[in-house]
Structure 1
């Protein structure tokens, strides 16, 4: 009993001290430097290679009207091994949809985040097979982090709706239909058949693995479970309320919602999802969280301890920066 009492006191002290330490560290980081500048692109990153002619063409801008139903943005850092199967699954689903709906148009933008392997060659081989109207590769000059890669990919998109999906294929792509159904419920029009109506609405639907948490608890170490719960606590404390899984790499935006959220995004690393949802909640943009199927794929770039600590620091930074006005949400006058 005495041991349990001591452990309980340690936990209570930790719940008080840990947030204070995070705030203190964030204040120091803010006073020393701003490690999260808005991601800008180099001139070489503004074009893609035409699969037929080899010529370079300029990527469109998110400010322009949509010209395809769906854009799929795939951030990829050294993903030559996992990317092919993800693209094959995605294309198979979208090509089948195209057969059922001949007027439907899609694009896939693979964002190579400063990859040093054959990620770009893999993406361009798919572009040669299916055409650069359907598949394009955005090759970043240097690594920006997942958040920076997703942001630049979204800003190069033509879709009435924009999905970002991880290159590992951990999420079943056909669960896109679940996100589209949820989006339809929010905006009262069908993303599949009414792209014009959907494009100008404000809403997003996000995939969630929260329903799989009980299974994952049994397979993870006690330490990793503590880190996970600590991260969830910090998310709730500093930023996003009411979302069970902020980190699932399967999120669907209307074009307008993508423009509003991504133009204020600062975090370039793993916690960028949290800032996106924080911005959306501050602007009262409707969010639907939908259970999706998910399978852990070998080759993850997330380092369990360092990445969780880094994400925790990012959460504190997000809270502090917005609280003191160092970061501002640009579209705070959304209708």
Structure 2
């Protein structure tokens, strides 16, 4: 049986014995690092609170065995992982993982990747994230959209999962979602714990921003698609977005409905026009519309954006994402999509437009100094 060396300060209280069951574990307190004079284990897990301590321990072990394969486990997400790796000595493989209790198997997946990279342990997967808020009165539209998405997944993207993120609804939205999930779970015939529909629920309404952050924090996927729940978009455009992201060149694909939306009032068209003028300097090259409710990002992009996003930006979370993407030089594509502006929108055109202007000013001050080379990894 292969052995795994684990050096930990026990602060994360990770239940290694129940996660890594196929290997023999040698668990050592990080305070006893001086007692290690030889490393025979093919993989070393380093689980300590401070990143700088993790780097120091890794380098001390690499002085003993330069080819040691190391998995560094952090409690947070850092956009400066490349800087961490530049400070690590030796020539063994090094991986960095953010510990998430909702995804304990990530540790085992990474260990197996280090031990046996010739055997892929995880397929590329897709998450379709649907923010919802007080959708009871128009849940029929939500239901119809989910049926279309399930058809798309069954026919073309069997490795995809749909996630509702409930933005603190005050009505019976969550009960209706739970009924959908109950039916889904009853109909599932697989022996795994995989379900095509899943849900997360926020305690308070965040005007959309919190749903994006919850999705980015809690959901693990190679491609993430964020889409409005009200059956506004065609599944063909969603498929097109997934296919473009799967090619790997673009980090972000942003839908735009400004020239294709139907049922849109003249007032909304005018406001959209002026928003485009105001926000164009804040957007990545080639992007002129950030507010359409359909966009996709890849895993690397989501990991880098998350530390800079704020849950108090409300409906302008899309703009904040694009502004940060521009600062970090991500490749972005604007994709024209078909859209129907459905009745029952939660957008207050005047009030939300004023709030949008305030967020623009905030973005220019809070995030103006973003740079990957300036991140503190201590």
TM-score class normalised by the smaller sequence: 0.5 to 0.7
Aligned pair 1:280/2:329, yes or no?
no
Contact 2:253 2:333 in 1 (8 A): yes
Q: Deviations over 1:122-177 (max 9, x none)?
A: 11111111127221221111112201112102322132211111122211233112
- Cα 1:253–1:240 shift into 2, 3 Å: closer
Check the 8 A contact 1:203/1:286 in 2, yes or no: yes
- 2:253 aligned partner: 205
Indicate the residue corresponding to 2:132 in structure 1.
Answer: 76
2:181 pairs with 1:135: no
Q: Which runs of 5+ in 1 are unaligned?
A: 1-39, 41-57, 188-201
Structure 1 range deviating more: 264-273 or 285-294? 264-273
Q: 1:97 to 1:142 in 2, by over 3 A?
A: closer
CA distance in 2, matches of 1:98, 1:239: 35
Distance 1:252 1:96, change over 3 A: closer
Based on CA coordinates, which of the two structures has the bigger radius of gyration?
2
2:307 to 260, 263, 268: 263
Q: Cα deviation per residue 1:170-228 (whole Å; 9 max; x = unaligned)?
A: 112331122123324553xxxxxxxxxxxxxx711111113237x778x414xx55533
Relative to structure 1, the CA distance from residue 270 to residue 68 in structure 2 (aligned partners, 3 Å threshold; closer, same or farther) is same
Q: What's the TM-score once normalised by structure 1's chain length?
A: 0.67
User: Per-residue deviation at 1:330?
Assistant: 6.2
Question: Partner residue of 1:10?
Answer: none
* Distance in 2 of aligned mates of 1:225 and 1:208: 13
More helix by share: 1
CA distance in 1, matches of 2:270, 2:148: 39
Matching of residue 115 in structure 1 with residue 159 in structure 2: no
Change (3 A) 1:293 1:96: closer
Cα RMSD over matched residues?
A: 3.1
TM-score by length of 2: 0.60
Q: 1:90 to 1:70 in 2, by over 3 A?
A: farther
Q: What is aligned with 1:86?
A: 142
Native 8 Å contact 2:152 2:235 kept in 1: no
Whole-Å separation in 2 of the counterparts to 1:312 and 1:100:
40
Q: 1:136 to 1:185 in 2, by over 3 A?
A: closer
Is 2:313–2:359's contact at 8 Å kept on the other side of the alignment? Answer: no
Q: CA deviation at 1:303?
A: 0.6
- Residues 144, 231 of structure 2: 8 Å contact kept: no
Instruction: Kindly indicate whether the alpha-carbon contact (under 8 Å) linking 2:225 and 2:294 is maintained by their aligned counterparts in 1.
Output: yes
How do residues 1-150 of structure 1 correspond to structure 2 at under 5 angstroms? 59-60=102-103, 69-99=125-155, 104-131=158-185, 133-150=195-212
